[in-house]
Amino acid sequence: MEILFITGNAGKFSEAKKILKHFGLNIVQRDSLIEEIRSDSIEEIASASAQAAYAEFGKPLFVEDSGLFIPFLNGFPGAYSAWVFRKVGNVGILALAKGKEAEFRTCVAYADGKEVKLFTGSVKGRIAEEARGKGGFGYDPIFMPEKTPGINHSGEKTFAEAPEMKDALSHRKRALEKLGAYLKR
């Protein structure tokens, strides 16, 4: 089964391709020029983008909206993560929230013309003291996931230092596994 993943982010796409392959799903990347709505809610953004994309492509597809949520900053940058990353990057987040608790969240929205289904995933951790590692993308060099039962990692490495650890427990993996199971049912 071929499904479109509408995204302009190559890092997201390559992670999603690997995750969904385990479900026998082949995904194809397409970019859309439709502008995202502005909202504090990644669920609202993903849902609106999926509907707009279905109107454009007319095929089963999904979109994904993600964000880094820092409780000390009242959830900032949250649904504004892409904009904040472009403006101030990891240096800006380190200046504001070094060592603080953080959470990555993803909302995947799947549209097939009949319905829009949402699948969420999250991972808790904290912001490192400095950017470390070369893997991944975006905020990966400054995010250290907390220890997770059944997954062998120290809790001290960033996603960018240990991409295989990211593959095993990321917010994206958790959300896309739900999509995979839904499509396989």
Catalytic sites, residue numbers? 65
- Residue 138 touching ligand ITT (CB under 6 A): yes
DSSP string, 83-94: HHHHHHHHHHHH
**Is residue 125 at the binding interface for ligand ITT, with CB under 6 A as the rule?**
no
Contact between 36 and 83 under an 8 Å Cβ cutoff? The reply is no
Q: In the beta sheet, which residues pair with residue 67?
A: 105
Closest CA to 128 of 151, 160, 176, 150: 160
Residue closer to ligand ITT, measured from CB, 86 or 185: 86
Distances from the Cα of 136 to the Cα of 17, 51, 86, 112, 119, angstroms: 14, 28, 16, 30, 22
When binding is defined by CB under 6 A, the residue of 103, 125, 161, 172 that contacts ligand ITT is: 172
**Which of 9, 29, 51, 120 touches ligand ITT (CB under 6 A)?**
9
Candidates 50, 61, 81, 161; binder of ligand ITT (CB under 6 A) is 81
Q: How far is the CB of 26 from ligand ITT (least distance, A)?
A: 19
Residues at the site binding ligand ITT, with contacts judged by CB under 6 A: 7-9, 12, 64-67, 81-82, 85, 136-140, 159, 170, 172
